[in-house]
Amino acid sequence: MTTTTSTTTMTNTSNMTDPTKTTDARSRLLWQPAFVCGAVAAVVATATAAIAHAAGVSFEADGEPIPVTGFAMMTLLGALLGLVIAVLCRRAAHPRAVFARITVALTAMSIVPDLTMSFDAASRIMLVLIHVTAAAIVVPVLARRLPVR
Tell me if 137 is assigned to some domain.
yes
Tell me if 12 is assigned to some domain.
no
Question: How far from 52 is each of 4, 38, 58, 72, 140, CA to CA, in Å?
Answer: 75, 21, 8, 15, 26
Tell me if 4 is assigned to some domain.
no
Distance separating alpha carbons of residues 110 and 100, to the nearest angstrom: 15
The one-letter amino acid code at 131 reads H
pLDDT along the chain (149 residues), means of 10: 53 48 59 95 98 96 92 97 96 96 97 94 97 98 93
Q: What pLDDT score does 149 carry?
A: 83
Q: What pLDDT score does 20 carry?
A: 47
Tell me if 149 is assigned to some domain.
no
Domain that holds residue 53: 23-143
Tell me if 119 is assigned to some domain.
yes
Tell me if 2 is assigned to some domain.
no
Tell me if 14 is assigned to some domain.
no
Q: What pLDDT score does 29 carry?
A: 85
Start-to-end CA distance of the chain, whole Å, equals 56
Q: What is the pTM of this model?
A: 0.78
Q: What is the largest CA-CA distance in the chain?
A: 97
Domain count, the chain: 1
Tell me if 31 is assigned to some domain.
yes
Q: What pLDDT score does 90 carry?
A: 93
